[in-house]
Amino acid sequence: MIKLAPSILSADFSKLGEEVKSLEKNGIEVVHIDVMDGNFVPNISLGIPVIKSIRKETKMIFDVHLMIENPSRYIEDFVKSGADIITIHYEADKHVDRTINYIKSFGVKAGISLNPGTPVSFIKDLINVVDMVLIMSVNPGFGGQKYIPYSSDKIREVKELADKFNKDLIIEVDGGVNKDTIKEVVEAGANYIVAGSAVFKGGDISGNIKALKEGM
């Protein structure tokens, strides 16, 4: 089943609790939470206290995307804050397999993310270990960027590997997804679709979600 995973990085932080509740009222089951440290990516975003606070507001799946260096240091804290899925970047951890298994030891799902310039072949041996592969279709760190076309080929590569080695794999795409590009990523094989500005723009969450779903 295809699931839309709105990124709250694009939400109005002055009323974040309301925005999160609005997502749930509009049938959203997964919320994408971007965590940035200012080192791995040139930006800083929300952290553990914010995740804890919105956890009280919803039962949606918390899909926590760690764009941080040495993520293993903080895994337990993010689990305690309410994460259901924790994704680390292949490029940000020297011991990816160990960290993936550490995440799973807490009973939450583990994901691995690839930047646009990182080949899918680098994670072939992890496909049957991880629960999710996240293909970055923009360079991470900022919202509102345009979809990188070759990302679709990478999604197809992951789908081929999933069909061979892990049929339950979640294939997520993040970056530049809107009503004009969502059909392409779905047809390529993605089943978790992250969208930020395309969901929250203009304050019309309901209308934007409807437009995205119609575009699939």
Residues with active-site annotation: 34, 174
Give the integer Cα–Cα distance in Å for 198 and 56.
Answer: 25
Look up residue 215 and give its DSSP letter. Answer: H
Smallest Cα–Cα separation from 75: which of 95, 105, 50, 30? 105
Look up residue 122 and give its DSSP letter. Answer: G
Give the integer Cα–Cα distance in Å for 35 and 37.
Answer: 7
Give the integer Cα–Cα distance in Å for 47 and 209.
Answer: 25
Residue 143's SS3 state is coil
